[in-house]
A and B are shown apart, each in its own frame.
Chain A
Amino acid sequence: MRRLAVALLAGVVVATGCSLPHPKDSHGVTKIAATESEAETIYDRYRALRQDALDMLDEQPLTAVETGAVLAIDTGALMVARRLLLTKPPDDSQDLRIVEVYAPRLDSYPLWFVAVVEDRVRDLVKVQIFQRESSTGPWLLVASPETLPSTELPALERDTTDALESVDPLRDGRLAMSPQAAIDAYAATLNSPAGAGDADVSEDSFVTQMREVAAKQSQIEGITFTQRWTARPVQYVVRASDGGAVVFGTLARVDRYDIEAGRYIDWPEGSEQKAFLSGRLYSNGQLRYYHQILVYVPPDDGEPVVLGHYGGVVDGFGY
């Protein structure tokens, strides 16, 4: 009888509690930047406009879905592709599928979220960030570093409400170095000659690849080639489950060609130099590049490492 009474009492209390209005959760004035279905809707629009841009080899549709460095890189790539049209047809196919969405809980605009996307045509994984600058603006792609399918991305930390945990770009609490310091260190490393030994970051495949490109340009006879790297302010950093951080950084690179008097350069047909520095170069020329890098900064000690990269020429001039 007592057990029956207790069960009855518990049942009534539970049933009543479920249906009655109740005080809200204690997350304050915050919002999860986007749900998975919202992210899918945003991505559908991105995918459609990107396909239009690829079909027409025109960056105009992209301006509605991309901004900043990633738009500049894609615009540059489309311009080079227009030049390449002279020699071979462009690859305008795409098969992009969202694998995972990570959205932080934010208390004001801009809102942003991370989408891990499978690029089945190019056999790559894109780790992209979409941002909405204001409540009346569109969602725009702001970062798109790419990793090889074999690269294992660190597990990202979510809080109890399934929101992605973000990290202050300027703080190094629990990290080997602050996220901004890591991107600055990459710029410093690339500005130093190979084997200088004063690097704070590892000589990973990204650093090796960029050094190889610079070395190749330096071998052109009759020119003085200089390359300069600068780090742009870091905006997006997310916490890894092991306490480390995954940083979305952007590096700006300037390649300068100074040509000896009486000599000139003819760029190979279809090259990015030909696209931006058309015709012969007699005196000097300059090409600007953006490189978006995805960097893992380990907890405590250890060196940051580049997990992914997306970059290209964005503008240039010469005479």
Chain B
Amino acid sequence: MRRVVGVLLILIAVLALALGAGAAIVLGTDNRAQTGPHHIDTSAPVLLTSPDVLGWAGLTVTVTVSVDEGQEVFVGAANAVDVADYVGATQRTEITSYRLPWNISTRDVFGNQALPAAPGEVDWWVAQATGSGSATMSVELPEQAFSLVVIAVGGGDLQGVEVTASYDVDGGFGVGLGLVGFAIGLALFGWIALQGRPLVRFEEVEDGDEEADLEVDHAGGTERPEPDRRGTVR
């Protein structure tokens, strides 16, 4: 039983070590992982992520969008219900799946060239940014269904658009290091369990002493008297 527990603890420790070290290496001391710039093939005025693409919460995403020089571009983030109604009748390219670090699938939806209102006129953006030629926006992904949207403002389209994304995990580097430390500790416990040595021992109760003394063996083992292997002469 002890050996099984020991092996299990070591396996978990290896997993935690890989996760922690991986997170610490990928995020670095600035707690940020970056990918891009990546070109996305589109001729639509609107580019957005489908609601199920951003299936995680608690992650801060920073998106930088670059388009042709002089083209006004808007990048925003909002609840998917608002976005679906807003872009519903407009020509657009939707990012339908995304895998790290940058593996996307897209689909083109045909419709009107113009949105029902300028993006700056609606009040439900959680985060937004506008710029000429490029724009950068940061948002912490919330629990609700969410979409990121890029819009060519004032006519035009998003041909030649390039996207750079970075992911910020507050304290991610520290958590990674914490996981490494935790893994090392767990591995030690596992190793001890694997050795089959007890972590505690009970000493014999002396006559008249009603309470047993519990002594923890910090050295990881106990010394037991060797049995007398000599013969006995009678």
A residues adjacent to B (C-beta < 8 A) = 1-2, 5, 8-9, 12, 15-16, 19-25, 27-31, 106-109, 111, 134-136
Contact = CB atoms under 8 A, between A and B. Distances in A.
Contact of B143 (A5, A25, A108, A109): A25
Nearest to B81: A31
Contacts of B55: 23-24
Interface string B121-157: 1101000000000000000010111000000000000
B173 to A, nearest CB: 11
Contact of B56 (A21, A30, A107): A21
A15 B81 contact: no
Nearest to A33: B81
23 contacts: A1-B200, A12-B178, A16-B182, A19-B58, A19-B170, A20-B58, A21-B58, A22-B56, A24-B54, A24-B57, A24-B143, A24-B145, A25-B57, A25-B143, A28-B145, A31-B79, A31-B82, A31-B145, A106-B81, A134-B85, A135-B83, A135-B86, A136-B117
Given A29-B80, A31-B82, 5 more contacts: A8-B185, A12-B178, A23-B57, A25-B144, A31-B144
Nearest to B54: A24
Contact of A29 (B141, B145, B179): B145
A2 B200 CA distance: 9
B199 A29 contact: no
A8 B183 CA distance: 12
A21 B51 CA distance: 17
A21 to B, nearest CB: 4
B98 interface: no
Contacts of B124: 135
B199 A136 contact: no
A245 to B, nearest CB: 24
A162 to B, nearest CB: 13
